[in-house]
């Protein structure tokens, strides 16, 4: 039996509604239902305070890698606690941050040689933007006019003002339009499924990249960098890019003298089947942002990696003011570094990538069994990242009005059946920990297979 929490569950649920403001949550709706209280986890499973069991279908929002309560990471954090919980990288250093930086450089695409630590994906991206801007002012042939960025129209790079400025200008940004910086060019990157011209890959020859090339041709003297989520756009609804797309962007950036920033915050640490998604197309970015899976989903830690060339543009006498003036209180936190090193060591000891690569095609087969459902309009997979898009009609792909909240209702039905997932609009996002076994993957898919018809039955009875 799980230990009964004190204060009581009732009291906690009451206090939850009195005191907490949840992220990306309409609190008026939230307050109408007592929240689900998770207080334990093990492997792929989460347990609520009443002892009910759930599969963690989101990797606790895209962060967990080797499962919960992994003894190696648990042990590494405990061990570090016997030394020190936190010391700073401002003016000092500590062994684990050094070891971690070295390990990351060895793992990262070759050429990325310097590691700047921070705490989360948004700051890792923010740092990439600031590095790029300052680089062009200080590099050997300075080009201070290079102050604009190019991003994809449906991109998501974080919630801080800078990273938000380079994300798709959707719902999330509307209230903040006055804050967003103006130096940005957006290119439509609908990718294949969303292609408005209905062009077929490969015959289309990636026509969606042409607008990027024309902007670069015309404005490269003002463009500091292009930023992309390599191989797959996550928050956009899990939209994979066509083969060769990433490499083509990399080449264009090189040709037009523009930095290439890879936002590997979601894709990093094995999520797509390779350690970093850039590896799928042997792409080497100038700057790479990593966060989510970095500590195996244990602690907030992030990093921005860059090349010797960019780093060296920041070297000089103190009064030349070439210093990169940026840093956070918890930069390089030792507990986080301990977790991250343990995370990396498990990739070796458990041969995580080999196992995941073997399971990815099997996951694809399992997903295919969903395709006969009349609401499943599209299944998009990139490794262990899956988007299942629900539509009114699988032939016309007519979407449900967002107000019907079909995705939300299916996730509630799945929860009652023992699977926690979170939708993006009407796309169900399935992103299991890399340690999830084939049997557990099958359980997840089987639950979704039951949850969708349950919601359909109640939807049809309300909308005859």
Write down the least CB distance from residue 227 to ligand PLP, Å: 9
Q: Measured from the CB atom, is 159 or 213 closer to ligand PLP?
A: 159
The minimum distance between CB 8 and ligand PLP, in angstroms, equals: 32
**Shortest Å distance, C-beta 78 to ligand PLP:** 25
Residue ranges in 151-180 that form contacts with ligand PLP under rule CB under 6 A: 156-158
CB distance 304 to 122 below 8 Å: no
| Contacts to ligand PLP from residues 191-230, by CB under 6 A | 229
Find the binder of ligand PLP among 223, 291, 294, 451 (CB under 6 A).
291
Cβ proximity to ligand PLP: between 300 and 418 the closer is 300
Interaction between residue 296 and ligand PLP (CB under 6 A): no
Return the HEC string of the chain. CCCCCCCCHHHHHHHHHHHCCCCCCCHHHHCCCCCCCEEEEEECEEEECCCCEEEECCHHHHCCCCCECCHHHHHHHHHHHCCCCCCCCCCCCCHHHHHHHHHHHHHCCCCEEEEEEECCHHHHHHHHHHHHHHHHHHCCCCCCCCCEEEEECCCCCCCCHHHHHCCCCCHHHHHHCCCCCCCEEEECCCCCCCCCCCCCCCCCCCHHHHHHHHHHHHHHHHEEEEEECCCEECCCCCEECCCCHHHHHHHHHHHCCCEEEEECCCCCCCCCCCCCHHHHHCCCCCEEEECCCCCCCCCCCEEEEEEHHHHHCCCCCHHHCCCCCCCCCCCCCHHHHHHHHHHHHHHHHCCHHHHHHHHHHHHHHHHHCCCCCCCEEEEEEECCEEEEEEEEECCCCEECCHHHCHHHHHHHHHHHCCEECEEECCEEEECCCCCCCHHHHHHHHHHHHHHHHHHHHHHHHHCC
Residue 237 binds ligand PLP (CB under 6 A): no
Q: Give the separation between CA 288 and CA 163, rounded to whole angstroms.
A: 14
Between 120 and 241, name the residue whose CB sits nearer to ligand PLP. 120
**Per CB under 6 A, does 287 bind ligand PLP?**
no
Residue 120 touches ligand PLP, criterion: CB under 6 A: yes
**Contacting ligand PLP within 336-355 (CB under 6 A):** none
To ligand PLP, the closest distance from the beta carbon of 287 in angstroms equals 13
Residue corresponding to tokens 């971690």: 100
Binding to ligand PLP (CB under 6 A) within 423-462 occurs at none
Residue nearer to ligand PLP on the CB measure, 242 or 300:
300
Burial class (CB in 10 A: 0-12, 13-18, 19+), 166: buried
Q: Is 263 or 389 the residue whose CB approaches ligand PLP more closely? A: 263
Supply the minimum distance, in Å, between the C-beta of residue 295 and ligand PLP: 11
Please, which residue, 121 or 334, has the CB nearer to ligand PLP? 121
Q: Using the minimum distance from each CB to ligand PLP, give the nearer residue, 76 or 125.
A: 125
In the complex with ligand PLP, which residue's Cβ is closer, 109 or 394? 109
* Span between the terminal Cα atoms of the chain, in Å: 45
Q: Does 122 bind ligand PLP (CB under 6 A)?
A: yes
Q: Which stretch binds ligand PLP (CB under 6 A): 120-128, 250-258, 327-335, 365-373?
A: 120-128
> Which range of residues in 114-122, 146-154, 354-362, 371-379 is near ligand PLP by CB under 6 A?
114-122
Cα 250 to Cα 246: distance, rounded to the nearest angstrom: 6
Nearer to ligand PLP, 292 or 456 (CB): 292
Tell me if 80 sits within 8 A of 334, measured CB to CB: yes
CB of 300 to ligand PLP, least distance (A): 7
Rg from Cα positions in the chain: 23
126 is an interface residue for ligand PLP by CB under 6 A: no
CB of 424 to ligand PLP, least distance (A): 11
Q: Which of 43, 162, 168, 234 binds ligand PLP (CB under 6 A)?
A: 234
Binding mask 381-420 for ligand PLP (x = CB under 6 A): ----------------------------------------
C-alpha span between 94 and 86 (Å, rounded):
10
Q: Binding-site residue total for ligand PLP (CB under 6 A)? A: 15
Q: Say whether residue 121 binds ligand PLP (CB under 6 A).
A: yes
| Nearer of residues 151 and 157 to ligand PLP, judged by Cβ | 157
Least distance in Å: CB of 264 to ligand PLP?
8
Residue with Cβ nearer ligand PLP (263 or 378): 263
Residue of closest CB approach to ligand PLP: 121
Site for ligand PLP in 240-269 (CB under 6 A): 263, 265-266
- How far apart are alpha carbons 460 and 454 in whole angstroms? 10
Residues that bind ligand PLP (CB under 6 A): 120-122, 125, 156-158, 229, 234-235, 263, 265-266, 291-292
């Amino acid at each position: 039996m799980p230990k009964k929490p004190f204060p009581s569950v009732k009291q906690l649920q009451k206090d939850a509604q009195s005191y907490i403001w949840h992220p990306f949550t309409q609190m008026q709706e939230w307050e109408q239902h007592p929240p689900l209280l998770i207080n334990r986890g093990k492997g792929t499973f989460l347990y609520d305070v009443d002892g009910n069991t759930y599969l963690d279908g989101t990797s606790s929002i895209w962060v967990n890698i080797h499962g919960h309560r992994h003894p190696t990471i648990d042990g590494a954090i405990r061990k570090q606690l016997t030394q020190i919980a936190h010391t700073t990288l401002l003016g000092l250093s500590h062994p684990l941050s050094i070891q971690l930086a070295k390990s990351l450089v060895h793992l990262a695409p070759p050429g990325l040689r310097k590691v700047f630590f921070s705490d989360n994906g948004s700051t890792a991206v923010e740092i990439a933007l600031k590095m790029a801007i300052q680089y062009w002012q200080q590099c050997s042939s300075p080009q201070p006019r290079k102050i604009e960025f190019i991003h994809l129209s449906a991109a998501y790079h974080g919630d801080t003002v800078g990273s938000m400025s380079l994300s798709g200008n959707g719902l999330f940004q509307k209230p903040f339009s006055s804050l967003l910086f103006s130096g940005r060019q957006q290119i439509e990157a609908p990718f294949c499924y969303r292609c408005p011209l209905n062009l077929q890959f490969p015959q289309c020859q990636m026509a969606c990249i042409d607008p990027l090339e024309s902007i670069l041709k015309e404005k490269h003297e003002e463009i500091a960098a292009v930023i992309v989520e390599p191989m797959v756009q996550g928050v956009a609804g899990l939209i994979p890019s066509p083969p060769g797309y990433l490499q083509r962007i990399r080449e264009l950036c090189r040709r037009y003298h523009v930095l290439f920033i890879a936002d590997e915050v979601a894709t990093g640490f094995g999520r797509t089947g390779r350690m970093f998604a850039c590896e799928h197309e042997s792409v080497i970015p100038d700057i790479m942002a990593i966060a989510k899976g970095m500590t195996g989903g244990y602690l907030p830690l992030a990093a921005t990696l860059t090349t010797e060339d960019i780093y060296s543009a920041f070297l000089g006498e103190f009064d030349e003011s070439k210093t990169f003036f940026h840093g956070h209180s918890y930069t390089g936190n030792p507990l986080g570094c301990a977790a991250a090193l343990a995370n990396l060591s498990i990739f070796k000891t458990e041969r995580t990538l080999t196992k995941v690569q073997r399971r990815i095609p099997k996951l694809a087969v399992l997903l295919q069994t969903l395709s006969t459902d009349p609401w499943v309009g599209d299944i998009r997979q990139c490794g262990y990242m899956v988007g299942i898009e629900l539509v009114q009609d699988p032939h016309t792909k007519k979407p449900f009005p967002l107000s019907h909240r079909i995705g939300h209702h299916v996730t509630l039905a799945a929860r009652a059946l023992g699977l926690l997932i979170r939708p993006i609009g009407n796309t169900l996002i399935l992103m299991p920990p890399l340690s999830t076994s084939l049997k557990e993957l099958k359980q997840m898919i089987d639950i979704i297979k039951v949850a969708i018809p349950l919601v359909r039955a109640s939807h049809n009875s309300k909308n005859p």
